[in-house]
Structure 1
Amino acid sequence: MKTQVAIIGAGPSGLLLGQLLHKHGIDNIILEARTPEYVLGRIRAGVLEQGMVDLLHEAGAGERMAREGHVHEGFMLSFGGRAERIDLKGLTGGKTVTVYGQTEVTRDLMDARAASGAQTVYEALDVQLHDSDGPAPRVSYTKDGVRCEIACDYIAGCDGFHGVSRRSVDPGRITCYERVYPFGWLGVLSRTPPVDHELIYANHERGFALCSMRNEMLSRYYVQCPLDDKVEQWSDGRFWDELRARLPEEIGARMVTGPSIEKSIAPLRSFVAEPMRFGRLFLVGDAAHIVPPTGAKGLNLAASDVHTLYKVLCERYRTGDVDVLDRYSELSLRRIWKAERFSWWMTSLLHKLDDDVFAHRIRLAELDYLAGSQAGRTTIAENYVGLPYEWRD
């Protein structure tokens, strides 16, 4: 087989890139090691920046999101027994975020790709990249016991943190920066109405908590927990009691509880790999960077990578200018590091990092200052709704 762009990974970033390229007449094939059902079974957050919302519409996959997604004009910061609202729309000139689950984003992109007739190969095993530095890169894989190969112009590695794309790069050519946090998030999904119509981020002396949602009758809640905790240690009753304890009393009192339908503990890390281009291989999304989920940036950063890569590839095929490809890594990393900073800052500000009471009081003082400052609230809001996309200086 032959194509212009071989895309490794059929998660949201790979599917979104494939759909955008297809709409601009750039042929592409997506390879995915798992089944469609497995990909859709991944439970992830879904707070979408305005830039990603616009990009999904551009890709022709935003119609259901527009009907069923929940536009949020603000969120709550809880600390010291009080709750302060951050007015996203008012502080950013009208920008908002949309709550729409990553599973639903993936489903919509899968449906859009199927309707377009573009090719996706699921259960493509033992994927290997060949000659990605040369003029004729190839990708090989095994499907139904048969070894297959795709010749292509470029390879987009959208296969996540543990994927083959980054691992195929000579370690001497890539620099990785990482911070692993000494706690995790215990997340619970329940068929209950959300405690509030907007998200609540809570700082408490017992640890961080987050009240989120999927829709009017599906809530997603999190509490900070020790990294070595096991899900089996957390009964539903223990979880609800702990969550209530970390929220202002009036908010906890109106919380509707119920049986969990999914419960998991996720570690937190910050990670960046530089550069993001190696010859004709481009790293995209989690293949190049991870953020702690506190700032709601993971999926959105992948979308901004996709935006930059699809723009430079369109320019390259439209004009023949191969030099434009040099801009991908630099422009992507500029935005990535700003999002990494915001996610790290939010994580440091809202979590219990140790048993140092002085440090906890300092965090409360900072939250109090930010909540009482127009400039402080604006800084939070501008970063939360997402910094502007760019692909040219």
Structure 2
Amino acid sequence: MDFLNAMGGTAGSFFGAVIPFLFVLTVVVFVHEMGHFLVGRWCGVGIHAFSLGFGPELFGFNDRRGTRWKLCAIPLGGYVKFHGDANGASVPDPETIARMSPQERAISFPTQPVSKRAAIVAAGPIANFLLAIALFAGAIWLGGRYELPARVSSVEPNSVADTAGFKPGDLITAIDGQPVRDFNAMYRTVTGAAGTSLAFTVQRDDRDITINATPATIDERTPFGRHRIGRLGIRSPAGSEAKLVHYDLGDSLRLGVHETYFVVERTFSYLGKLITGRESADQLSGPIGIARVSGEVAKNGGVGGLVGLIALLSVSIGLLNLFPVPLLDGGHLLFYAFEVVRGRPLSERAQEVGFRIGLALVLMLMLFAAWNDILNLGASWKNT
């Protein structure tokens, strides 16, 4: 009986994670590919297929312009196949292009001016950033957000804050000269500055003083894996001090842009620390980790939590696709940059080698992320 209950619980957890994961990923992928699709249509390029997922087609239909809209069996991405492409990754098909009539070349993706090709390729990541901004801004505009003053309610003994001289009642107004809006903004700055000296402007007894402190580095385990964050050792005010602040549409959009920029900035900060050896690659997560997080967010955060996760994942996928790796959008843009500088495209051989290298890098990254997910999942089960 215990075995059956365990199996039932495992099955429930599985479907409780997979369904939110598919919802989140489908929205993000659909918006990304729709960016490519709309700009491609606007540029007059023929489109053979718009696919959500890879592999065998489950079902689909043809629109009046002959584009096949389809849902495929492997729901881990998608693609738009333009006229003249050898596959969904927009790899050119030289033999097919050579046999094209003038009318076909006019609507073929590889024969378009480099400016149009670059616009079509960049439209996918841009659509992801716009989606994130819209979701962040919409959530703030519709529901407002609770804000706590950046006031120190208590200081942990023997912590960095205690040693630096923070006291209960201190109000943090700026960090390194940048104004601090609320406790959450202060927390974000501190957690992202582990081992970095910060200058805090503190209001105490109606006067401003400066306190220098270097957040300690601690390991924090999250559903995405282990993260190294900075910690001062101060506690926030009681929740009763939080106030719900409503913003108009303009301010909501501004804050939506700020939230999106924060994700981008934090990602680049992590990558910089990874390159210099100050961060570990075990924080990278893949589909398994995202599925697990999706299930937990759906369970604990509901629709609002899933909307926030969609926004976060949309920024991440948009940013990832801009990396200058052949096969990704950024790789195509890199090839187009070489084409502009040289006055002609790279040779077919060079492009083929580049795409193979890009495929190998993407596959290795996916495998490494999946391995991290498995290790994190094992650690989670061990701790339960």
Answer whether TM exceeds 0.5 for this pair.
no
Larger radius of gyration: 2
TM-score by length of structure 2 reads 0.27
Q: Which has the higher strand share?
A: 1
TM-score by length of structure 1 reads 0.27
More relative contact order, 1 or 2 (CA 8 Å, 6+ apart): 1
Q: Which has the higher helix share?
A: 2
